[in-house]
Structure 1
Amino acid sequence: MDDPGRTARLLWTHFEPVHAVTYFHPRARAAYEAVGLRGYWRGYFAGRAAPLGPVGAAPVVAAFFSFAPHMVARALPAVWKLATPEEALRARLTGAVQALAELTYELPEAHLVEAADLLETAAGELENSGRVLGAANAALPRGEYPLARLWQAATTLREHRGDGHVGALVAADLDPVETLAWKVALGTSPVNLLGRGWTEDQWAAARDRLTDRGWLTADGEPTEHGRTAFQAVEDATDAAAARPWRILGTDRTDRLRELLDPVARAAHTVIPPDSPIGLPALQS
């Protein structure tokens, strides 16, 4: 494995779509609604925060990173009066499995079993120290069926990677609004990112700070300095996520990528092109 960081990014493009069905598939949304979590953001905050237990807003603001505190506080801790964390966890797994079952019905069961086995093996090699969301998901009970195991492993891996990405952003002295403003400057559609609760004044101030740091020109265009500095963040994220793939080895990692490819492609059919979770294109 010549470049573990590149391998980590490559595998991310394959397991992230598997996780992402929980945000976008109608069956996933319906599962949340069935336990009383009506409205997209109630399901999102309850489902994603549930591995942490019945927490309030503060730790979720910190862990999720990109949402304005007042937006998180509208959902937490109030959602726990609608559904307990245990109910939210059952709903998110049920909805995700139903979504994946609909998307992968043409794949042989042996294909899904092998993919789940390998992805679970990779997730089992994670070092979760300092990775709060990754650790909380890793501690959940193992799924009973292949698609449940596949989705839970994908979720553990993506939350572990997300924890590492937040750490890299903090180390680069980027706050949440600056990070979002930078991504928009790079070409990410602002449509969904603007829905994270920050005010127009906060967006403008973040762009001003990026300009003062030399990341943006006066016209709001990315500078080479900014591109180089943010690439260092991405490289640090990849390097911190590489451990499972080094341990799994080239042959098993290549086999897992082959198995995940049709699952990820099917998942992409229900994920919006302007996805607010920053999902990259599937890489081969």
Structure 2
Amino acid sequence: MSFARRVWQLYEPLHAVTYFAPQAREAFESAGLRGFWRGYFAGRAAPLGAVQAAPVTALFFGFASGMVSRALPDVWHRARPEEALAARLDGAVAALRAVVPSGSAPWAEAADLLERAAAAAVTDGRALGAANAALPRPEGELARLWQAATVLREHRGDGHIAALVGAGLTGLQALVLRDALYGGRDQLQPNRGWTDAEWDAAVGALAGRGLLDADGRPTAEGREAHRSVESRTDALAAQPWTALSAAEQDRLGELLVPLARGAAAVVPYPNAMGLPHPDGA
């Protein structure tokens, strides 16, 4: 397994608390963003400013446009982007403080290493990575840890979308192929807002390309397409880690393991991110 993939499996849970932890939900609600999806879309899109639905649909990639447009631009009438940013950071820090084991790893050292990688990330063509990288550096070890993890996960996510687009897959088709390989339609489809008709049409399109068989099961070509996208994603995510020596990469992995295990207490498994549990990664 590449370092880029292994370390993603450890820093992604630190970022993901902002979606699942009760402290994060409370922070969004206090800012006027009631309901999970208002907080999700406002918090994740806020680095872009008071953006409309169309660019967010494109950048988030896997969501149905109607689901995005139900949240945007309405959320900006409830909370300004700067208020959403403050809420997501405050909620994430409170969540991490509650779940990561105190004293199990030096937070400042982990934050320093993640920040060095995030600062080195080339964000050309990576809108979400660039928007998050441009945010001011927050104060506090956990805030720095969370923000650096967020820059790196959005940088990786931008590359993943580029790999999918390069493979000729739409956001919905990527979800359908993943379901065919690993299951999860009951979670993926409603959480991304697709209708049965849209999902079934994507199944037909993938079958027409030879990526699924007549029963909707992945073919050898479908498995290879998925493998190729994941390999390309890892390759596109590798660049920031060249800022760390091999010894520093090993040290970062050691530091992140107990933190990721703590954060995993509030992240559901399985999940729509395709993130494995840290103990099984």
TM range (shorter): over 0.9
CA contact 2:203–2:216 (8 Å) conserved in 1: yes
Amino acid at match of 2:170: D
Q: Distance in 1 between matches of 2:18 and 2:60?
A: 16
* Correspondence list, 1:64-79, <5 A: 64-79=60-75
Pairwise CA distance, 1:188: 3.4
2:114 equivalent among 116, 119, 135: 119
> CA offsets per residue over residues 171-211 of structure 1, 9 Å max, x none?
00001111111111112312221121111111001001111
TM-score, structure 1 length as denominator?
Answer: 0.95
Pairwise CA distance, 1:105: 4.6
Amino acid at match of 1:60: V
Pairwise CA distance, 1:14: 0.7
Question: Residue 235 of structure 2 corresponds to which residue in structure 1?
Answer: 239
Q: Distance in 2 between matches of 1:146 and 1:233?
A: 34
2:133 equivalent among 135, 138, 143: 138
Q: Distance in 1 between matches of 2:186 and 2:139?
A: 38
* Correspondence list, 1:73-222, <5 A: 73-107=69-103, 111-195=106-190, 196-222=192-218
Q: Distance in 2 between matches of 1:118 and 1:274?
A: 28
Pairwise CA distance, 1:49: 0.1
> CA offsets per residue over residues 29-69 of structure 1, 9 Å max, x none?
00000011000000000000000000000110000001111
* Correspondence list, 1:243-262, <5 A: 243-262=239-258
Comparing 195-204 with 81-90, greater Cα deviation is found at 195-204
Matched-pair identity in %: 57
Q: Does 1:16 align with 2:12?
A: yes
CA contact 2:270–2:276 (8 Å) conserved in 1: no
Amino acid at match of 1:55: V
Q: Distance in 2 between matches of 1:39 and 1:199?
A: 21
TM-score, structure 2 length as denominator?
Answer: 0.96
CA contact 2:101–2:262 (8 Å) conserved in 1: no
Q: Distance in 2 between matches of 1:190 and 1:120?
A: 36
CA contact 2:101–2:259 (8 Å) conserved in 1: no
Amino acid at match of 1:229: A
Q: Distance in 2 between matches of 1:124 and 1:173?
A: 31
Pairwise CA distance, 1:212: 1.1
Kindly report structure 1 stretches of 4+ aligned residues shifted beyond 3 Å. Answer: none
CA contact 2:2–2:234 (8 Å) conserved in 1: yes
Q: List alignment gaps of at least 5 residues for structure 1.
A: none
Amino acid at match of 1:57: A
Q: List alignment gaps of at least 5 residues for structure 2.
A: none
SS in 1 for 2:138: coil
Q: Distance in 2 between matches of 1:257 and 1:105?
A: 16
Question: Residue 47 of structure 1 corresponds to which residue in structure 2?
Answer: 43
Question: Residue 265 of structure 1 corresponds to which residue in structure 2?
Answer: 261
> CA offsets per residue over residues 84-137 of structure 1, 9 Å max, x none?
0000000000000000001125226x7001010111011111000000000000
Instruction: Report the RMSD for the aligned CA atoms in angstroms.
Output: 1.2
Q: Does 1:58 align with 2:27?
A: no
Pairwise CA distance, 1:277: 2.1
Q: Distance in 2 between matches of 1:105 and 1:257?
A: 16
Question: Residue 7 of structure 1 corresponds to which residue in structure 2?
Answer: 3
> CA offsets per residue over residues 207-265 of structure 1, 9 Å max, x none?
01111111111111111111111111111110011012223121001100100100001
CA contact 1:192–1:274 (8 Å) conserved in 2: no
